[in-house]
Structure 1
Amino acid sequence: APALFTDVDGRYRGMDKNIHTVKGHNVYTIFSLWDTFRAVHPLFTLIAPDKNMEFINTMLLQYQQHGLLPVWELMANETGTMIGYHSVPVIWDAYQKGHRDFDVELAFEAMKKSAMQDHLGLADYRNLGFIPFEREGNAVSKTVEYAYDDWCIAEMAKSLGKMEDYETFIHRAQNYRNVFDTSVGFLRGRRADGSWRTPFDPIESSILGSGDFTEGNSWHYTFFAPHDVAGLIELLGGDELFSAKIDEMFAEEPIVTHEAAHDITGLIGQYAQGNEPSHHVAYLHNFAGRAWKTQEKVALIMDSLYTDKPDGISGNEDCGQLSAWYIFSATGFYPVAPGSGDYIIGSPLFEETTIHLDNGKTFTVKTEGRTRDAVYIQSAKFNGKPFHRSYISHKEIEAGGVLEFVMETEPNKEWGYAKEHRPKSYIPDEFRLAPLEERLVFIPFISKEKDLFHEPITFEIECLTPGVTIHYTTDGSEPTQQSAVYDGPITIGETTLVKAKAFRDGMQPSETLRREFIRAYYRHSNRVYPTIELEHGPAGRYTGRGKNALLDGTRGTIDFFDGEWLGFINDVVAKIDLGEPRHVESIRLSFMRNIGSWILLPESIEIAVSSDNINFTVIGTEQHTTTPADYDIGIKEYKFDAGQTFRYARVIARSTRALPEWHPGAGNRPWLFIDEIILEY
């Protein structure tokens, strides 16, 4: 992949579902860009740049038909699978290398538009400088991958003389720093209020759509700042500690903590060659002047995780990425940061490898003395002259020549050690931002676990930004500096919507905290009632904490694996018994929407109440049709007014029978995820 999508007469089905005819190039499909931006497309820039141009021109056609560049396109459908907007580095990498047979202005327009959306956490990423984990699944992975993509946009903008855009995106490219917790030395989930996810374990893995990381953990992602490795080295305490951290990754226990994280494979410690986020990590030693460690680790990966047998790769091939990693690494170098124009040197495997370039020239890599044990570079020559750098540029390769290495069993720790011989990857000093804590007033918070209560409660409003004044309201209005000043604990006895905003001179005010406390009947303090019975139980791994989780007073988060959500493959039919007739003002219930994970909102909801458990009166219904506009992950609360006394309540939520035709899983049965059923009084 990508695979040819045009017929012999140039016709193809576009992303607008119409039949088009293309002239001048072929159209392709299957753009697994989260995987292939790393090495597959950079490999094409060396061995088949004209083909890569066709890929880019296809992406631009898809942009014109669909409105956005592809993320993970399949047969003229945007699947929405995986994260980032990784068409961007493919385009910039080609442009930076002088491959420009496409509409450059259209390409930049498309790149910028992908980055300026409000979906998939981008609004928070843009406004706060990071994505809070309580608002978006895989928030840390998205933050750091968006940051790299934004660096590519910044560099493209600079090359086109668009300096205002350059400044915007070079600032955004530093957002990876905002989810790096220096107190633990890892990327870590962060709340909008500035606090860090607790408890935290860097080995704790998560899957696509659930948890802080995409098919990985903090070990896999902490080293992802390929555009600013110098900044990452600084965060980790300098060259020696940075290099030691990579060593620690390879020495960790090779375990996967999430039962559904099937993509985390090919483990050497916590390095995972079977999935993409780790692929560049072994090469990062070069940036710290420890090129011999890169040579050692790359050789280890090639030797232990690749064979010529049918199962000769350690994970999903992912449309060529695992093979492209091997082709580059066996040749002797790897594109750590596509778009930088540099390849980072590892441990070449073959006695002689020749790349036949599109310009008619050849580039040859030769080794002397390479064996399974002799993996270390002792010396190198390029076109007959001594070569001390641990990287080589694309321009040097395109000019043709011969790069020769002498290999031995003991490392030469001086080769590639000098500062001038290390690869460069940094944000210019004049565009460096101050730490986030010095620029952003964090949103206030209330340290109270449950939104539900049955007796009057007292709470405090706090803010992690020092020196702020907090203004708040309890009447639903937006807080301003004319609203009441928070000066101590607040007590409430009825359902109340609390809003609060923090202000500090010289800084932009915080976002508005919105927290509703609901007086309700729920299971607390060993109470027997209310009880709940389900006609059909939850399915598979999605049984959460059992049926009583629907009445425990704790509302589910954006993570459908948090234990509060129950997942159903059929309709939800629930009956609640309050124990005795009680007055209820409203009935609320929440459903998860995560279309990429096949979780849809209910097609219909019916709420009925009864005093005798026989004769039920319907008090509310709701209908919903799922459309592509629902693609963002979210939680939808449905509220039905009751205003009457009853003992029993019945909830019927009907699942959509099949995923819609525009969905990549069209025809399959979707999931229905429900959490708290709230009986407000």
Structure 2
Amino acid sequence: MKKKLVLFSLLMAQLICAQSYSRYVNPFIGTGGHGHTFPGATVPFGMVQLSPDTRIDGSWDGCSGYHYSDSVIYGFSHTHLNGTGVSDYGDIMLMPTMGTPSLSSKEYSSKFSHKNEKATAGFYSVRLDKNNIDVRLTTTKRVGYHEYTFNNAGSANIILDLNHRDKLLEGEVKIIDDRTVEVFRRSEAWALNQYIYARIEFSKPVKISRKEVNGKDENNHFTGTELALAFSASVKKGEKISVKVALSPTGYEGARKNMMAEGGAEDFDTVKKQAETVWDKELSKIEVTSEDKNKLSVFYTALYHVFSQPNINMDVDGRYRGRDNKLYTAKDFEYYTVFSLWDTFRAAHPLMTLIDRKRTADFINTFIKQFEQGGKLPVWELASNETECMIGYHAVSVIADAMSKGIKGFDYEKAYQASKSSAMQDIFGLNAYKQNTYISIDDEPESVSKTLEYAYDDWCIAQMANILGKKEDYRYFMKRSQGWKNLYNPKNGFMQPRKNGNWYEPFDPREVNNNYTEGNSWHYSYSVQQDIPGLIAAHGGKEKFEQFIDAIFAAPDTTTGRDQADITGLMGQYAQGNEPSHHIAYLYNFVDKPEKTDAKIKYILDHFYKNTPDGLIGNEDCGQMSAWYILSSLGIYAVTPGLPEWQTTTPYFDEVKIHLEDGTTRIITKNTAKTELKRLGFENVQPVKDLKYAQLTPSPVISADRVFDFSTKVEITPLSPHDKVYYMTMDESDANKRKTFIPYRGPVTVTTSTQIMAYAERNGEKSAVTRAQINRRPNYWDISVLSKATTQYTAGGKLALIDGIRGDINWRKGEWHGYQGQNFEAVIDFKSPQQITKLSSTYLQDSKAWILMPKKVEYYASMNGKDYILLETVTHDIDPKDEKVQTRDFATEILPTEARYLKVKAYHFGKLPEWHQGAGGEAYIFIDEISAR
């Protein structure tokens, strides 16, 4: 009987895979708009992404190398990123041409037309108009296959340009014979130190017809940082030249082994068919039924995008390059790269726990090795580099989710220790977060987002600790996970930044600024995935929280503050085009209004995902945008990864079949009970004990003028009216005195520069100490600023320029005035004539952020405020290309001069030059402190 069941299961599996799900895939979805996807050939989780490059300028909408609005192809490279927000990859570029070869990208590039372009799962083709060349591309995991048909007779060229796209740090080309070339490329872009090796094999003999080499050039061995070669051969009309390119992260030997294992086929169509078969197998894990072919294309392209990364990053023998740049061999798991974890922890990785538990374990084994080799879990890892992009330590979410769902195949203890270590470091505001359980503007930029995401990650670590029986760690991290309470303003219901112990004002929840990551307070005020009941209680119950969810959808659909291209797909202030909003519509389930979840989810599915090049409402972000679609269309979503349950909605398709790894099949229809969906795929849930932990007492708010003239009133307010507050003041005269906290009974008047410290207490649980430094002004000058500061960069007002408080190089903390596209000009009124001999004003440069030193600074003096004389002009020698973040004091000594008014004029850099990524945009001037003595 068992044999019959096994045979039946195998037969069913073969029948499932025999269906062509790949035919529904449209790789052009997301190549237009802001989707940032690529249309070229790849296989599931493959090392090779062989695709055309239409963008070589590093532009935002060219992050993948291709944009559907373009009409010129520069070449076909073998690595591409799927929907990221930063540009990289484009390694080992080949381009076929005819005639006299050129190594200039302007010369070897070619026009093309979309009508002569085709893309399917694992295949891409296009006609290059310039020389009438037909190009076909397909791939295995590690080998890219090119087929060039030269429709005219003559001299055919294949250009190899190692300077394509990112910066070449080190290049090497070795000619093995007239059909074989080995290539090494070490480059720098988003990932600062990328290694890739390749073995290129031509189907016919070729010879070098042109070269550009600025290093070694002898015995068919070339090196340098400027390195390009043209390989040529005579062709007849209609003749084909095939090229195979095997990649390796480890070395030439790895590339040779990969070629031997995957590059043996000589027939292009055979490899193309193999790629389709592999895609059909992966895509068959979920079968959906619909009469609407566009819906099928959107669904299976979404699944295709999810399976396009992470990418296998080891050779066929298991060798890989570790985070420490040393070579290792993976045993009993596959090693991967491209972990966009800030995005993908929300839906892409939870989806994988449902349909690919084995690969989920491999991802976590990769995390563990990266921790062992690099000192911490990946944040945004790319090509064995940690880019430190985005925030949080969301690898812990992936680990906790897998552990809670009983996924095996990795060492739970090692994974836990790596998670705990990553949470205990003193980087990116974690030191302040550990001490205070929240981050303020004074500590770190993007303070609200970091606090909220650290809090969720700590909850994930607590779940691991619970599974492993680590009671004290569980209690510690559960308390840390409540840090959100310190930023929840009970007066308005928003997550509001704090600065110098107080709420940051002025506050506009629609404002996109440096206190949030790619968002605003609307987007982040629902980001308490680990404690939705606690958030509901803070709002005053389900009815009020429902009103708060309603409010984000009813708010005006425009943001204020900084222009943030990532914020798209707005429904009120809800932004489907960026990840922080992705769980919000499901929160209606928590207030017993599932019909509202159903309505919002259906609207998004209907309107924001289309079978067109601009069919994604925002960046694909390595599969997250598509994973949201897949899960939501199935009727499920993981609001809280790490908790083994789904939130539910009405399934989008009439029928869905999910084929699980254990051989079972789950069928979902629109009539499937939501209770059944809620536990979908959770048979092996890890049992945990319900342990008690302390409730966090939030820190009180200290309200006072940060800078005052003669005296100021200090008020201290607990975030819960039931908390008791204790405080202490310290001024210069108290430096050597022993002081203690005393009960706060009402406002305190302060007349000297003073530090105030306060904490709240509830049921014996003390909050962290809130600290505020208030300063008596060092002068009584006035200042008139004649330029208009950018709204984001006012440092609290004009007096910040003369208050004696200097900002540091971390300008995102908000201590600097910023002026874009204009000169800075201000007049200081000393109120009475003063003799001055020294003048200074301080400026900042962060070239990548468009902030450049002024060309020059002029100082003028006047007695009447009308007639000014030039005292001094100060220049500098800082290169605008210098990307080091730095400050410069434009100081000068002058002959004793009596004046009542001092005018400072700083001349802005102007438009950003061609070499700058923001070429054509207006540079900023950032100024902080002006002084005169």
**For residue 499 of structure 2, what is the aligned residue in structure 1?**
191
**For residue 391 of structure 1, what is the aligned residue in structure 2?**
678
Once the 2 structures are TM-superposed, how far is the Cα of residue 616 of structure 1 from its aligned partner?
A: 9.2
1:110 to 398, 418, 437: 418
Tell me, what secondary structure is at the counterpart of 1:470?
A: strand
Call closer, same or farther: CA 1:227–1:543 in 2, change over 3 Å.
closer
Call closer, same or farther: CA 1:576–1:201 in 2, change over 3 Å.
closer
Native 8 Å contact 1:569 1:671 kept in 2: yes
Letter in 1 for 2:596: K
Call closer, same or farther: CA 1:504–1:539 in 2, change over 3 Å.
closer
CA distance in 2, matches of 1:96, 1:177: 26
Superposed CA deviations along residues 399-458 of structure 1, whole A, max 9, x for unmatched, are 9xxxxxxxxxxxxxxxxxxxxxxxxxxx9794351542xxx466x5641447xxxxx744
Once the 2 structures are TM-superposed, how far is the Cα of residue 581 of structure 1 from its aligned partner?
A: 8.0
Letter in 1 for 2:505: T
Is the aligned partner of 1:206 residue 2:489?
Answer: no
**For residue 325 of structure 2, what is the aligned residue in structure 1?**
17
Is the aligned partner of 1:677 residue 2:926?
Answer: no
Q: TM-score, normalised by structure 1?
A: 0.72
Call closer, same or farther: CA 1:108–1:645 in 2, change over 3 Å.
farther
- Pairs aligned (count): 593
Letter in 1 for 2:693: F
Letter in 2 for 1:519: P
Call closer, same or farther: CA 1:358–1:504 in 2, change over 3 Å.
closer
Once the 2 structures are TM-superposed, how far is the Cα of residue 627 of structure 1 from its aligned partner?
A: 11
Superposed CA deviations along residues 139-182 of structure 1, whole A, max 9, x for unmatched, are 22222211111111001001111110000011111222222222
With 288-297 and 32-41 compared, the bigger mean Cα shift is at 288-297
Letter in 2 for 1:55: F
Native 8 Å contact 1:341 1:394 kept in 2: no
Tell me, what secondary structure is at the counterpart of 2:679?
A: strand
Tell me, what secondary structure is at the counterpart of 2:561?
A: coil
Native 8 Å contact 2:707 2:774 kept in 1: no
Letter in 2 for 1:313: L
**For residue 36 of structure 1, what is the aligned residue in structure 2?**
344
Call closer, same or farther: CA 1:539–1:469 in 2, change over 3 Å.
closer
Is the aligned partner of 1:365 residue 2:654?
Answer: no
2:579 to 269, 276, 282: 276
**For residue 409 of structure 1, what is the aligned residue in structure 2?**
none
Is the aligned partner of 1:96 residue 2:399?
Answer: no
Task: Mark the runs of 5 or more structure 2 residues left unpaired by the alignment.
Answer: 1-308, 719-723, 862-868
Once the 2 structures are TM-superposed, how far is the Cα of residue 587 of structure 1 from its aligned partner?
A: 5.2
**For residue 128 of structure 1, what is the aligned residue in structure 2?**
436
Once the 2 structures are TM-superposed, how far is the Cα of residue 91 of structure 1 from its aligned partner?
A: 0.9
CA distance in 2, matches of 1:357, 1:34: 26
Tell me, what secondary structure is at the counterpart of 2:667?
A: strand
Q: How does 1:295-444 map to 2 (within 5 A)?
A: 295-367=598-670, 380=672, 388=675, 391-396=678-683, 430-431=692-693, 433=695, 435-436=697-698, 440=699
Native 8 Å contact 1:584 1:679 kept in 2: no
Letter in 1 for 2:927: D
Is the aligned partner of 1:239 residue 2:547?
Answer: no
Call closer, same or farther: CA 1:61–1:488 in 2, change over 3 Å.
closer
**For residue 100 of structure 2, what is the aligned residue in structure 1?**
none
CA distance in 2, matches of 1:128, 1:8: 48
Task: Mark the runs of 5 or more structure 1 residues left unpaired by the alignment.
Answer: 368-378, 382-386, 400-426, 451-455, 659-664
Q: How does 1:505-520 map to 2 (within 5 A)?
A: 510=769, 513-515=772-774, 517=776, 519=778
CA distance in 1, matches of 2:922, 2:382: 20
CA distance in 2, matches of 1:644, 1:512: 43
**For residue 53 of structure 2, what is the aligned residue in structure 1?**
none
Native 8 Å contact 2:609 2:617 kept in 1: yes
Tell me, what secondary structure is at the counterpart of 1:353?
A: strand
Q: How does 1:476-515 map to 2 (within 5 A)?
A: 477=735, 480-481=738-739, 491=751, 498-502=754-758, 510=769, 513-515=772-774
Once the 2 structures are TM-superposed, how far is the Cα of residue 256 of structure 1 from its aligned partner?
A: 2.2
CA distance in 2, matches of 1:299, 1:361: 28
Call closer, same or farther: CA 1:518–1:434 in 2, change over 3 Å.
closer
Tell me, what secondary structure is at the counterpart of 1:294?
A: helix
**For residue 466 of structure 2, what is the aligned residue in structure 1?**
158
Native 8 Å contact 1:27 1:58 kept in 2: yes
CA distance in 2, matches of 1:555, 1:561: 13
Tell me, what secondary structure is at the counterpart of 1:109?
A: helix
Letter in 2 for 1:352: E
2:371 to 59, 63, 81: 63
**For residue 525 of structure 2, what is the aligned residue in structure 1?**
222
CA distance in 1, matches of 2:929, 2:408: 57
Call closer, same or farther: CA 1:472–1:388 in 2, change over 3 Å.
closer
Native 8 Å contact 2:778 2:804 kept in 1: no
Q: TM-score, normalised by structure 2?
A: 0.54
Native 8 Å contact 2:458 2:477 kept in 1: yes
Is the aligned partner of 1:471 residue 2:729?
Answer: yes
Tell me, what secondary structure is at the counterpart of 1:676?
A: strand
Native 8 Å contact 1:542 1:567 kept in 2: no
CA distance in 2, matches of 1:641, 1:512: 36
Call closer, same or farther: CA 1:448–1:337 in 2, change over 3 Å.
closer
Tell me, what secondary structure is at the counterpart of 1:679?
A: strand
Once the 2 structures are TM-superposed, how far is the Cα of residue 388 of structure 1 from its aligned partner?
A: 4.9
**For residue 376 of structure 1, what is the aligned residue in structure 2?**
none
CA distance in 1, matches of 2:354, 2:379: 23
CA distance in 1, matches of 2:672, 2:742: 71
**For residue 835 of structure 2, what is the aligned residue in structure 1?**
582
Superposed CA deviations along residues 315-336 of structure 1, whole A, max 9, x for unmatched, are 1111100100111111221111
CA distance in 2, matches of 1:141, 1:479: 38
**For residue 403 of structure 1, what is the aligned residue in structure 2?**
none
Native 8 Å contact 1:14 1:62 kept in 2: yes
Letter in 1 for 2:488: F
CA distance in 2, matches of 1:543, 1:508: 32
Once the 2 structures are TM-superposed, how far is the Cα of residue 36 of structure 1 from its aligned partner?
A: 0.1
Native 8 Å contact 2:320 2:335 kept in 1: yes
Tell me, what secondary structure is at the counterpart of 1:213?
A: coil
CA distance in 2, matches of 1:392, 1:137: 39
CA distance in 1, matches of 2:425, 2:544: 37
Letter in 1 for 2:549: I
Q: How does 1:72-91 map to 2 (within 5 A)?
A: 72-91=380-399
Once the 2 structures are TM-superposed, how far is the Cα of residue 231 of structure 1 from its aligned partner?
A: 1.4
Letter in 1 for 2:930: I
Native 8 Å contact 1:250 1:268 kept in 2: yes
CA distance in 1, matches of 2:798, 2:717: 34
CA distance in 2, matches of 1:380, 1:8: 43
Letter in 2 for 1:394: G
Call closer, same or farther: CA 1:478–1:358 in 2, change over 3 Å.
farther
Tell me, what secondary structure is at the counterpart of 1:133?
A: coil
**For residue 705 of structure 2, what is the aligned residue in structure 1?**
447
Call closer, same or farther: CA 1:501–1:196 in 2, change over 3 Å.
closer
What is the RMSD computed on CA atoms of the aligned residues? 5.0
CA distance in 2, matches of 1:36, 1:573: 43
Call closer, same or farther: CA 1:142–1:8 in 2, change over 3 Å.
same
* Rg (Cα) greater in structure: 2
Once the 2 structures are TM-superposed, how far is the Cα of residue 461 of structure 1 from its aligned partner?
A: 4.9
Letter in 2 for 1:293: K
Once the 2 structures are TM-superposed, how far is the Cα of residue 126 of structure 1 from its aligned partner?
A: 2.2
Superposed CA deviations along residues 608-654 of structure 1, whole A, max 9, x for unmatched, are 999x9799999x9999xx999x9xxxx97979898995689999999
